[in-house]
Amino acid sequence: MDKIPQKIGRYEVLEIMGEGGMGVVYKARDPNIGRLVALKVMKPSLAADKDTAEMFRERFEREANAAGVLQHPNIVSVYDADEDDGAPFIAMEYVEGRALEDVLEEKGGPLPDQAASIVAQVARGLAFAHENGVIHRDIKPGNIIITDDGTAKVMDFGIARTKGSDLTRTGTVLGSPNYMSPEQITGQDVDYRSDIFSIGVVLYQLLTGEKPFLGENQTSISYRVVRIDPVKPSKINPVIDPLYDHVTAKALAKRPDDRYQSALDLADDLEGIAEGRGLKEEPPESTRIVEGGGGTKVLGVPLPRDEAMPGREFLESSLIKVKNQASALLEKKEAKPAIAAAALIILIIALVMIFTGDDDPYAKIEKYIKSGKHEKAAAALIGLTEKNPNDHRAFYLLGAESAASGDFNAAVRAYSSALALNPEYKKDASPVEKLLRAPEDEEADLAVSYIVSEWGKAAYKRLKEALKDPDYNTHWNAATALEELGYRVDTLDLLVMDLNNEDCEMRKVAVEKMDELGDRKAIPKLEAARGRHWDDNSCMGDSIDVAIENLSKVKSGKPTRKQPLKKIKKGLDKIFKKN
């Protein structure tokens, strides 16, 4: 442990309050005004690493900029951010109390109404932050402190995003997986409603003593957050008011538009329940949080009893019954040989059932995937990966299931785990085929980058074939991957496919991009398109004539490529998403 310094900057260090792997928090005094403060400091032993020091400096500056302007009773105030002998530090409000995660570890935890009061205070503090353009993005029990008088205060705005900030861009995942929103986990851009989801996770944990999204690894946790709804809190803790089920379900809605649209509304509902006033609005008859009982429960997702996976125990018990019947027949003197033979045949069939695919969970899961039963497939696969973190086949199938259901970020994570556990999967081209269908910029960029980094030029043949695929996402993603691998792609061929798209706006953009490429070979393609009759050609205007005229003026030779492939695709993406 590093030696406790006497001073940090102008602050007089009194004692150590806590210590982590990379930082230390000290109780200190500001001699200028005699105020007690909490100093969060990077460990001196790490200061020699320039990258680490710069990371802390950026984080502390971000926290100072975010929390420094937030003066609210439910937010820990930040007074100063500076550095001492190259080690960055931040001076915060000194609070007598305990972190909420320590309160949760106590036997029994807080009572429901106490939990509602704590979360309502957190929500009011965050509502103030949201009004001032600050999104916390890391709400969890460890970042909430409860004072001795019961006041809840939010702290650690180290990865917060302020209005106009570009410190964290779309595609970057920051936060604690158990408390992150679906959009945060998938690397999408987030707004204040992501904090509301995290508040819902904390509320659920306070009410039940359990986290709503549990898993043995980050893949299983992430999948549950994005796809699986937790059990109602009242099913776990029957003493709580069922109205809390509604509040929790609304806060934990997968789509931001389905959540509370203001942290203040969440606080009002919690206080209304605790004080006996009820909710501001009557809850709907149904709720998004699933019932926990009935049928076979796989990772919190119950399956109907008649669709539960056949187990070895059932088959073995059936085998015992068949064996006993066969023995009884053989013992009877009047039993004919044919009867005994039939009994033996039945016995053999039962043995085959036990040792063949009827008891193979992977075969059952593959059937689920092919039939579109994605939630059942996902639940079973997550169960297999939790039971055995080295189950490469389960991770591989989870990649296929995630791609089939449209969650390409999850597909990349699952395929990464599968290939790390069993490199033989690189010989299979099917993951490349599935990932090439990733839509939108962020998911497509991730999928393409993964294909390039994992398969490299080994994927060349499949990528070349994908260039001819009429699916918009497939051929453009394949082209992007090929260019990143250093191959030249004839963009004109791709634009010709888009020129035949059913959507008129897409055709118009394809014409504009052909014009910008400056390739005279596009002229006959455009003339052929002009001769075709589409049901609705009003949006095309004279764009084809203008493009042909411009291209006719281009000198023969190599085309004048004005835009890189990615920029061309981005222009088309805007039209594709709009429709």
Planar angle of CA 104, 109, 115, nearest 5 degrees: 90
* Residue 546 CB neighbour total at 10 angstroms: 13
For residue 401, CA distances in Å to 266, 365, 395, 407, 432 come to 35, 9, 10, 9, 14
Cα→Cα distances 56→53, 82, 156, Å: 5, 11, 13
**In the structure encoding, which two tokens stand for residue 392, read together?**
């490469």
Helical (H) or strand (E) element with 280: none
Q: How many CB atoms lie within 10 A of CB 80?
A: 17
SS3 call for 14: strand
Options 138, 265, 407, 573, the catalytic residue: 138
End-to-end CA distance of the chain: 59
Query: What residues are paired with 144 via a beta bridge?
Result: 154
For 540, residues 6+ apart whose C-beta sits below 8 A from its C-beta are 504, 507, 508, 511, 534
Angle between helices 218-227 and 374-387 (to 10 degrees): 160
Q: What is the DSSP string of 328-355?
A: HHHHSTT--HHHHHHHHHHHHHHHHHHH
Task: Using the CB atoms, write b or e for 355-392: b if 16+ within 10 Å.
Answer: eeeebebbebbbebbeeebbbbbbbbbbbbbbeeeebb
What is the CB neighbour count within 10 angstroms for residue 347?
Answer: 16
Beta pairing class for 11-19 and 296-298 = unpaired
148 an active-site residue? no
The DSSP H or E segment spanning 174 is none
Task: Determine the Cα–Cα distance for residues 543 and 548; give it in Å rounded to an integer.
Answer: 9
Q: Give φ, ψ of 246 to 5 degrees.
A: -65, -45
Map residue 237 onto helix, strand or coil.
coil
Which residue has 């222009």 as its token pair?
Answer: 571
Contact 27, 94 (CB under 8 A): yes
Question: 567: which 2 tokens?
Answer: 């920029």
CA pseudo-torsion sign 157, 162, 167, 171? positive
Which residues, other chains included, contact 232 with Cβ-Cβ below 8 Å and sequence gap of 6+?
Answer: 242, 245, 248, 249, 287, 289, 290, 291, 292
Give the C-alpha separation, 266 to 154, whole Å.
Answer: 16
Is the four-CA dihedral 291, 292, 296, 302 of positive or negative sign? positive
222 near 232, Cβ under 8 Å? no
Query: Across the strands, what pairs with 100?
Result: none
Residues designated catalytic: 138
